[in-house]
Amino acid sequence: MGEFVSLEVEGGVGTIRLDRPPVNALNNQVQAELAEAAREASERDDVRAVILYGGEKTFAGGADIKEMAERTYPEIAKFGAALTASLATIANIPKPVVAAITGYALGGGLELALTADRRIAGDNVKVGQPEIQLGVIPGAGGTQRLARLIGPSKTKDLVFTGRFVKADEALALGILDEVVAPDDVYAAAHKWASQFGGGPAVALRAAKAAIDGGLDTDLASGLKLESHLFAALWATEDQRNGMKSFIENGPGKATFEGK
């Protein structure tokens, strides 16, 4: 697809792969290619779930500091808006998304991982938002998605100090959802993603929209959103097939077409 980002699809699972040695730094080109890959993964019917992966050595080391350092205010404002929009495109993929984290996910790298629905990492991984050590703050979701995930107090500790967090603490904080041996990261992510290969794609999309949309509003509005999305599924073949199979064969035996 792109020079640094590709989308590889197999068995219903699409892998968005970063490959910009040595640390997968997120420059202008990478963020644009990430958005392009996310849009394609969203649109393709043969992609039922997505893995974000930076390879065996590292997930992503953040923004390209050498590129950023000499930018003017108008230039960095434009870059920051573009990076935020690119990561939003990934967060809005209407399918289950898992980040397979190796090595480290720092700064923009952690912000990229936070766009996923689940994060699986090696037990030697380090994560963090070290921007404060450069005299700046996270600018692509680190103060917002992280606070929604683990709460404001814990987020402030990480953002104020800029410290690196090891895998066991990140798991306890709720930044990571699963920790495995370093060599097993991609396989564990693929195992999680592949369970949706034959799943009810429309219902999964509705579930993600209800959960994410509800977090951005009050409870009453969230409940209305949920009710609307729930009722809309009665217009799908998957709902009819799923309920018919349950009545005739019991739970867990339905096959879905994603329609």
Active site residues: 111, 131
Please report which residue ranges of the chain form alpha helices under DSSP H. 28-43, 65-69, 73-91, 108-113, 145-150, 152-161, 167-173, 185-194, 201-215, 219-232, 237-249
Q: Alpha-carbon distance 207 to 226, whole Å?
A: 8
Q: What is the DSSP letter of 130?
A: G
User: Residue 252, by phi and psi: left (phi above 0), alpha (psi -120 to 50) or beta?
Assistant: left
The residues, any chain, with a CB within 8 Å of residue 158's CB and separated by 6 or more, are 128, 129, 146, 165
The residues, any chain, with a CB within 8 Å of residue 35's CB and separated by 6 or more, are 85, 86, 89, 90
**Token pair for residue 234?**
């009665």
- Neighbouring CB atoms inside 10 A of 23's CB total 19
**Token pair for residue 259?**
């329609």
